[in-house]
Structures are given as structure tokens and as C-alpha cells.
Amino acid sequence: MASTIAIDAQSLARRYGRRWALADVSFTLPAGNVLMVAGRNGSGKSTLFRVLSTAIRPDRGRAIVGGFDVVKDRYDVRKVSAILSHQTYLYESLTARENLRVFADHLGRGRNEIDALLDRVTLGARGDDAVQTFSAGMRKRLSFARVLLQAPQIVLLDEPYGQLDPEGFALVDEVVRELKSRGVTVLMATHQIERGASLADQAMILEAGKVKWFGQAADAVRRGAPPAIAGVAR
């Protein structure tokens, strides 16, 4: 990545009807860093991630992701970034292995990594089973494999611990550490404040679509509960 800044968001705003889900959100994230994004339900976390991933357009403001504008260069943004969202967007009738093959073909990538990735997310023994037979946690694991297959420069993880068991929590931790060790930039929205802070370099707290606190991730725990963290599920 040519720039030392992976994400540069300036005055981002997004409205749904009369409600502003995002209102003047600005931050920068250096390449290779992990940023934890926290806040109550409805604070704007998922909307922010959808804007940064080009799923929706901002009504105001500007965001540069991987050196590309999320509005003008959306296809370039999608080439350098990957998102793990609440929706898995998997093909239900296909097997886990077939899902990854379809995705690899779409990306123009080889299929030689697929078996190793299924093992990586502990789905090796279920690779030939249809996704429609999977639990929510297994679908989340397969979605992680899809993110890793993409080999992105920037990863957006929206509630990655959701629907996972303790073993799955450990997998998320391992994947985030692995991504960081490879110089990948990671944004992670989570209610798991202490866990997320242990992995992140910085933390940002959203409230009512605005940035209420930004600082070192360790401070988000050390300070106990900055004003915007109060009441956040842990």
C-alpha cells in the first residue's frame, strides 16, 4: 500500500429517512493498525462499515479506503478490502468447499488454498456438507475463510464474535493477530470491549452516529468506561 494511511474518513454522514445514522464521523487509521469500534446498538457501527465497504453511499463527507474514494472508486475499494458482516451471503444449497470455489473463481484466485482454509476455521470435516445444514456459528467460520481467501489489505469485521462459542472466540483472536502480523489493517466493531482492546492499537466509541471518544485501545479499558462506553454490553 503506497500510503501510510489505510482509511481516511472526513465528516461522514448517512441518513435513513429523518434519522442520521452517521453524523460527522472523522478519523484516520494508519496502515497495519487494528482499530476497535464500540458503541451501543444503533450507534452507527454497522452503517459506518457499510459505507467504508461501499455497500451504501454517504450522504455527506468523504472516505478514502486503501487510497481509493468509496464513492468514485468503489470497485477499487472492493479489490483491496473485505468485510465480515451480519449477513453471511453464502450459497445455502452449495457445500462449504463449493462456496469457497465460487468465490475463488470470482476473484480470479486459485483453488489450492481452499482445503487449508477450511481446516483453519475448523470446518475441514464438513467441507462437503451443504451450508443449509450449518449452524450460525459454522456459517460465521466459513465467512471468515472467505475473507482470508480474498487476501485483502484492509478487513472490516462487524461483530466477529457474534454467534460463536469460546473456541470460535479464540479463532477470531488468532485471525486478527495473524492479519496484523501480515500488515493488514483491521477495523473491528464489537461489544466485547476488553477482548477487542487486547487486540487493537486504537479504539473509537460511537454514540448516536458521532465519535464520542478516540484513543489508545488500552485506555478504553483502563479508564473503565469513558462516557460513550457506559451501558455498552460487554
Q: What pLDDT digit, counting tens, does each position of 113-158 carry?
A: 999 999 999 999 999 999 999 999 999 999 999 999 999 999 999 9
**179-222 confidence digits (pLDDT tens):** 999 999 999 999 999 999 999 999 999 999 999 999 999 998 76
Burial group, residue 26, by CB count within 10 angstroms (0-12, 13-18, 19+): middle
What is the C-alpha to C-alpha distance for residues 177 and 213, in angstroms, rounded to an integer? 24
Q: Quickly list H helices, the chain.
A: 45-52, 74-80, 96-107, 114-120, 136-150, 166-181, 193-199, 217-222
**Per-residue confidence (pLDDT) for residue 3, from 0 to 100:** 62
> What top-level class would CATH report for the domain 5-89+149-222?
alpha beta
**Dist. CA 36–CA 217, nearest whole Å:** 7
CA–CA separation, 3 vs 100, rounded Å?
A: 31
C-alpha cell at 123: 470446518
Residue 103: name the closest of 149, 137, 144 by CA. 149
Sequence ranges of the domains in the chain = 5-89+149-222
Q: Model confidence over 71-124: pLDDT tens digits?
A: 999 999 999 999 999 888 899 999 999 999 999 999 888 889 999 999 999 999
DSSP symbol at 163: T
